[in-house]
Amino acid sequence: MNNNLHIYNTLTRTKEKFEPINAPHVGMYVCGPTVYGDAHLGHARPAITFDIVFRYLKHLDLKVRYVRNITDVGHLENDADEGEDKIAKKAILESLEPMEIVKYYTDRYHRNMDQLNVLHPSIEPTASGHIIEQIELIKTILDNGYAYESEGSVYFDVEKYSKDYDYGKLSGRKLEDLLENTRVLAGQAEKKNSFDFALWKKTDPRHLMHWPSPWSEGYPGWHLECSAMGAKYLGETFDIHGGGMDLLFPHHESEIAQSNACRGHDPVKYWMHNNMITIDGQKMGKSLNNFITLDEFFSGDQELLEKPYSPMTIRFFILQAHYRSTVDFSNEALHAAEKGMKKLFNTIELLDKIVPSEKSSIEVEHFEKKFYEAMDDDFNTPIAISHLFDLSKLVNQVNDGKETLSDIDLEFVKNLYDVFVFDVLGLVNEEEKGDDQLVGQLMDTILNLRKDAKLNKDWSTADKIRDELGKLNIKIKDTKDGAEWSQ
C-alpha cells in the first residue's frame, strides 16, 4: 500500500512524511511502565496511542517490530542524596522480594492492557535482563571520553559532550540555562556538574537490587536501559521512539546523548510524544497523588467516579482527543464517550439488517478517503472518528428509507467499519450478545411470552418481565420488528 503518512516529529517540531529507514520494515520503541504500582489512566494514554500507531502501520502493510520495555530496576529517586531505587524502597516497606513485586505488577499491567485491547508488543524486554548490555554501553561511553568515574559511580559528562554534540536538541534546552537553574541545588559532590546524569550508581546498604560491575556493586542509571535495549532489538538507528511528553527531558534527551557518545550518531528518526491526561486541569500522576487506576475505572470503585466505565469507553475516550493534546478527565466526558461509542456500534449492528437497493444514493468511497486522510495526518483519530459518525448518520437514514445503498456499497460499508473500527482503532463491541445457545433460546422463549402478554394487553405482565430482566442487567428494547435484548 502506498503510504502518505505524516508524523509530527518532536525533534524537528514539524510534521514529516514517514519514510521508513528500511521499508517495509519499521522499528518502534516505546517507553513502558515502571512496575511498582497499578496502572492508572495516564498509563493508558501512551499504550493506546502507540497501539494505534502499531495497528495503523501494520494496516499499511509495513512489517513492524514493536519493542516496549518493562522498567523493573527502578530509577534513581534522588540524585542529591542516596539515590534510592524505587522498587527496592517499596520492597523494604512491604517485606517482599523486589522481583515478587515486579512480577505482581507486571501481570496486572498486562491484564489491564488486554482489557483495553492493546496489542502485545513484538518484544517486551526488561531492564534487569539487560544489565550486561548496559554495562557494555557504559564502558564504550567511558572509552570515548564522555563519562567519568567518581566514588564507584559513573556519570555522563554533559559539558564535555556539549562540545561535540547538541545536548538539548530534542527538548530545546540550553546548557547555560540548565547550569543557572540547577546550580542552586544542594551540593552534589560526586558530580562535576549538577546536570550530569548517572550511568552507573554505586549501591548503598539499603538497596536490595544490585549487580557487579567494573566500578562497583550497583545498578544502572535510568536512561541507559532504553538505549541498550533499543539498539539491541531495533538496531543502532531505528524509525520511531515514543513515550509520554514528561519523558522528553531528561530521559529522551539523555538517550540521544548516550547514543551519540557511544556510536557518534542519533538513535532515532522520528520522536513521538503523547500528551498528558489531566484531572481538574492538572496532570494525573503519581507525584500529585491524583490518579485513578484502570481497575478503579472498570469497577467504578473510586470516590471521583459516578459509575464504572468499561475498558472500551476508556479507549474511545482517549481516541476522541488527538494524542498530542491534553485530555481532561470528567464523568461527563466519559459518559459522552460511552454513549457515542454505543451509537457507533448500533449502526454496525444495523448494517446486517439493511436491505440493499438497486442503486446507492451515497458515495461511500468518500468516507474511506476521509478516514485515511485523518489517520495520515499524524494519527488524527478524533477526525477519523467524526467521519465514522457522519457515515453512521447516513446508514441510519438508509434504514429509514431516506437514502439507499446498493449490494456492493453495503458490503463496502460493512468492510469499512470492520477494518477501521475493529482493526485500526482496535475497538470491541462489549455489548455483544452472549454466544451461549441455551441463553439465546431461553431469551427467545421469555420474549415470546412477553409478546403474547402484550397482544393480550396484559401490560402488567409485560412490564414485570421487563423489570425482572432489568434486575439481571438485561435490557429490553421494543423496536418496530419486535423486542431485542442485550446485556
Which of 4, 12, 22, 282 is the binder for RNA (CB under 7 A)? 282
398 near RNA, rule: CB under 7 A: no
448 near RNA, rule: CB under 7 A: no
Residue spans of alpha helices (H) in 323-423: 331-351, 365-376, 381-399, 407-417
Q: How far is the CB of 155 from RNA (least distance, A)?
A: 12
CA dist., res. 429 & res. 347, Å (int): 12
319 near RNA, rule: CB under 7 A: no
SS3 state at 25 = strand
The radius of gyration of the chain from alpha carbons, rounded to an integer in Å, stands at 27
Which of 27, 121, 230, 244 is the binder for RNA (CB under 7 A)? 244
Which of 114, 390, 436, 452 is the binder for RNA (CB under 7 A)? 390
Q: Which residues of 3-17 are buried (b: 16+ CB within 10 A; e: fewer)?
A: bebebbbbbeeeeee
Q: Do the beta carbons of residue 135 and residue 214 sit within 8 Å?
A: yes
126 near RNA, rule: CB under 7 A: no
Binding mask 186-215 for RNA (x = CB under 7 A): --------xx-x------------------
Residues 212-231 that bind RNA (CB under 7 A): 222
Which of 330, 441, 445, 456 is the binder for RNA (CB under 7 A)? 330
Q: Do the beta carbons of residue 239 and residue 213 sit within 8 Å?
A: no
302 near RNA, rule: CB under 7 A: no
In the bound state with RNA, the residue whose beta carbon lies nearer, of 330 and 441, is 330
CA dist., res. 106 & res. 70, Å (int): 8
Partners of 198 in beta bridges: 155
Q: How far is the CB of 400 from RNA (least distance, A)?
A: 5
363 near RNA, rule: CB under 7 A: no
139 near RNA, rule: CB under 7 A: no
Residues 84-113 that bind RNA (CB under 7 A): 86
Which of 26, 48, 170, 178 is the binder for RNA (CB under 7 A)? 178
In the bound state with RNA, the residue whose beta carbon lies nearer, of 263 and 357, is 357
459 near RNA, rule: CB under 7 A: yes
CA dist., res. 395 & res. 26, Å (int): 37
Q: How far is the CB of 411 from RNA (least distance, A)?
A: 21
CA dist., res. 210 & res. 175, Å (int): 32
386 near RNA, rule: CB under 7 A: yes
Q: Do the beta carbons of residue 82 and residue 204 sit within 8 Å?
A: yes
CA dist., res. 409 & res. 359, Å (int): 9
Q: How many binding residues for RNA (CB under 7 A)?
A: 93
CA dist., res. 237 & res. 299, Å (int): 43
In the bound state with RNA, the residue whose beta carbon lies nearer, of 214 and 470, is 470
Helix, strand, coil shares, percent, the chain, to 5: 45, 15, 35
Q: How far is the CB of 82 from RNA (least distance, A)?
A: 12
Residues 30-89 that bind RNA (CB under 7 A): 31, 33-34, 41-43, 45-46, 71, 75-79, 86
